[in-house]
Amino acid sequence: MSDKPLTGRARADRQPHSLAAWRGLGGGAGLALALKRHSPEAIIALIEAAGLRGRGGAGFPTANKWRFMRAGAERAGPGPRYLCVNGDETEPGSFKDRLLMEALPHQLIEGATIAAYAMGATEVIILVRDEYRAAAAALSRAIVEAEQLGLLGRDILGSGFDLTMRVHASAGRYIVGEETALIAALEGERPIPRHRPPYPAVSGLWGRPTTVNNVETLSAVPSIVEHGAEWYQGLSHTNEGGTKLYGVSGCVARPQLIEAPMGTTARELFELCGGIREGRALFAFQPGGGATAFLEAADLDVPLDFAHTKKAGSSLGTGAVIVLDDHACPVAAIGRHMRFYARESCGLCTPCRDGLPWVAKLLDTIEAGHGTRADIDLLHTHVQLSGPSGRSYCDLNTGALTPLRSGLERFGDIFAAHLQGSCPVGRA
Amino acid sequence: MSLSPAIRTAIAQAAANHGGPKAAMLEALKLVQEAEGWVSDAHLKEAAEALGVTTAEIDSLATFYSQIFRSPVGDTVILLCDGLSCYLCGGDAVRDAVMSKLGIGFGETTADGKFTLINICCVGGCDRAPVALVGPERKLVGPLTPDDLDALIDGKAVGGTP
């Protein structure tokens, strides 16, 4: 039994298995068990006991989400109900779902099928960003193979459960990965976020009950069903179940994807990556992608799970650990993020559409040594105005300004030094 | 030139597969772009007519998605990642070298029509940073160094296996 349920069966060359080869490795056992031995409610209870939380960034308990969907479906009555798989991975530093879709499409399809059975979905749509063409092709081929073997379509494995599945290839834009924007995209609307409530479980795709789950979340499902909640829970170093696919990038010797027990520390991850680049020292790191607050050397032993990372003042996000060494200027680094978020704003809300380009420009000015105290005060104002709770339709703006908020708090002296035309840390 | 019958058929098929004409608009745009390299006003209008949607509806998508090109692009599109992980691994030097070698900036096409350079983030290749996506297959190449650019521009693989 692998201690790497997500990647344990991946080929070294990252090429996808044929369905026959996948089954030869034991693939498909979770689906068979789910349909033959478990009721939908029992599967949800199993996922709950395993402690699986959404891997798309928010960490919402997966079982709760699936229960909301069942309740929504009951209220909505007969008709289609959708599971949308979020394969739009565009957050800076995040590159985990690419591997799962490219190398292990059958695992994702199996997980999505079990999830659809548990929550009562009738159709699965996997939205894949345009830049992941190999992933979209691998998934499309794998769906055809599964249909041919009766693992998708009508009366799957003689269980009476019917399910259709297809791939929707997107065409760029970070915002498409936002839950409600993704639903709008599938409807052919301009993909901008929608106000919640109503929540998608009540009124989602084409007004029908809908759940959006991340690729990594669903990829964990088959092995949980096969080996049980206790086994999955036991893989973790903390009380949040399972493993996590951490993606370490930036100033380490060997940037890479690592499937490790949930709650692995940054120190352990960096060691696996050959440490900080030669001759350099750690300056700071973002534990969960571009929209998470910085941590520093003192935080190297924080278990990287949802609760501990939050307690340390940041968040686990997607587990995309971006590492800055002592030659990487944080003003420049934050500026990079701001230019990304400014470019990727959908333009619906003013703080995002107008505020982020303004922030990006201020950071460029400060980085170039032409900033003033008033510019830094303005950055603080933007940060104060970006708080969550109703100032915009989605979290892009709040998320975007999180590294800035954290940078101003932790590295205020470096911002101040830039006003004098110098940077205490070198350029990357 | 107007859209080929094959593309019109594929657009109709997309409407059936995607849950209706409106939901198939993006797919129609991609079919046009695949055949023509970019989406002209004339083809946009034809795609709208083929689906029975308005030109404004389909253009609202065409102008939103970054990978739908509403102006002509070169034979090979190079999408160069400018995200933080690429920057931390020397992305700026690669960017400067590509621009200098091609003689163009982001969003521009070489005079001979061979290359278009576009900045993009993040392409999910942070373990191979700095990276680019090249050509119609969106082939991921990296880690790039300024010395690798000949291979990149010749369309050859650059960097190690993933």
Confirm if A94 and A247 have CB atoms less than 8 A apart: yes
DSSP secondary structure code for residue A353 in this structure:
I
DSSP helix, strand, coil percent of chain B (3-state; round to 5):
45, 10, 45
Query: Which residue in A84, A98, A131 has the most chain B C-beta atoms within 10 A of its own C-beta, making it the best mutation to test that interface?
Result: A131
| Interior angle at CA A317, CA A226 and CA B85, nearest 5 | 115
ipTM score for this prediction: 0.94
pLDDT of residue B121: 84
Q: What is the pLDDT of residue B137?
A: 86
Strand locations in A54-149, DSSP E?
82-87, 123-128
Separation in Å, CA of A322 to nearest CA in chain B? 7
DSSP A422: -
Question: Could you tell me which of A404, A396, A352, A402 has the C-alpha nearest to residue A378?
Answer: A404
pLDDT band of residue B155 (cuts 50, 70, 90) is low
Residues A13-35: b if buried by 16+ CB within 10 A, e if exposed? eeebbebeebeeeebbbbbbbbb
- Where does the pLDDT of residue A389 fall: very low under 50, low under 70, confident under 90, or very high at 90 and above? low
- The mean pLDDT value of chain B amounts to 91
Place of tokens 């259709």: A164
Q: Which of A91, A92, A171 sits opposite B30 (nearest CB)?
A: A171
Share of chain B above pLDDT 90, in %: 81
User: B76: distance to nearest CA of chain A, Å?
Assistant: 15
| The pLDDT of residue B13 | 92
**Residue A426, pLDDT above cutoff 80:** no
Which residues of chain B are within 8 Å of residue A124 when distances are taken between CB atoms? none
How far apart are alpha carbons A362 and A314 in whole angstroms? 24
Do B139 and B125 contact (CB within 8 A), yes or no? no
Tens digit of each residue's pLDDT (9 = 90 or more) over B117-127: 999 989 999 99
Where are the strands (E) in A61-156, listed by range? 82-87, 123-128
> Quick one: average pLDDT of A260-279?
97
What distances in angstroms separate CA B162 from CA A15, A46, A96, B64, one per listed residue? 10, 35, 13, 31
Are the C-beta atoms of B82 and B93 separated by less than 8 Å?
Answer: no
Considering Cα of B113, then B114, then B119, then B120, what sign does the dihedral take?
Answer: positive
Confidence band of A197 (pLDDT split at 50, 70, 90): very high
Share of chain A above pLDDT 70, in %: 98
Average pLDDT value over all residues in chain A = 95
Best probe of the A interface among B54, B85, B118, by most A CBs < 10 A, is B85
Amino acid (one-letter) located at A310: K
Distance, in Å, from the CA atom of A228 to the CA atom of A281, rounded to the nearest integer, reads: 42
Q: Does B137 touch chain A (CB under 8 A)?
A: yes
Please, are residues A183 and A205 in contact by the beta-carbon 8 Å criterion?
yes
- A188/B161 CB distance under 8 A: no
Which chain A residues touch B82 with a CB distance below 8 Å? 336, 339-340
Model pLDDT, residue B100: 94
Residue A98 has its nearest CB partner, among B17, B124, B137, at B124
Q: pLDDT (tens digit, 9 = 90+) per residue, A174-191?
A: 999 999 999 999 999 999
- One-letter identity of residue B43: H
Identify the closest residue of chain B to A427 by CA–CA distance. Answer: B88
Mean pLDDT value across residues B50-67: 96
| Separation in Å, CA of A38 to nearest CA in chain B | 32
Q: Do A93 and B30 touch (CB under 8 A)?
A: no
Among residues of chain A, what percentage have pLDDT more than 90? Answer: 93
Whole-number Å distance between alpha carbons of A230 and A264: 19
Beta bridge partners of residue B133, listed in sequence order: B79, B140
Q: What is the pLDDT of residue A359?
A: 97
Q: Which residues of B touch A13 (CB under 8 A)?
A: 161-162
In whole angstroms, what is the distance from residue B27 CA to residue B33 CA? 10
Residues 6+ apart with CB under 8 A from A313: A293, A295, A406
A140 close to A167: Cβ distance less than 8 angstroms: yes
Q: At A390, give phi and psi (nearest 5°).
A: 80, 5
Higher pLDDT, A341 or A427: A341
Evaluate the CA torsion angle A323, A325, A327, A332 in order and state its sign.
positive
Whether residue B157 has pLDDT greater than 90: no
Distance CA A396, CA A93 (A): 16
Say whether residue A97 is in contact with chain B using an 8 A CB cutoff. yes
Secondary structure element (H or E) that encloses residue B120, with its range: strand B115-120
Tokens of A332: 């420049």
| Residue B134: both structure tokens together | 């090249």
Which of A369, A28, A56 has its CA nearest to residue A217? A56
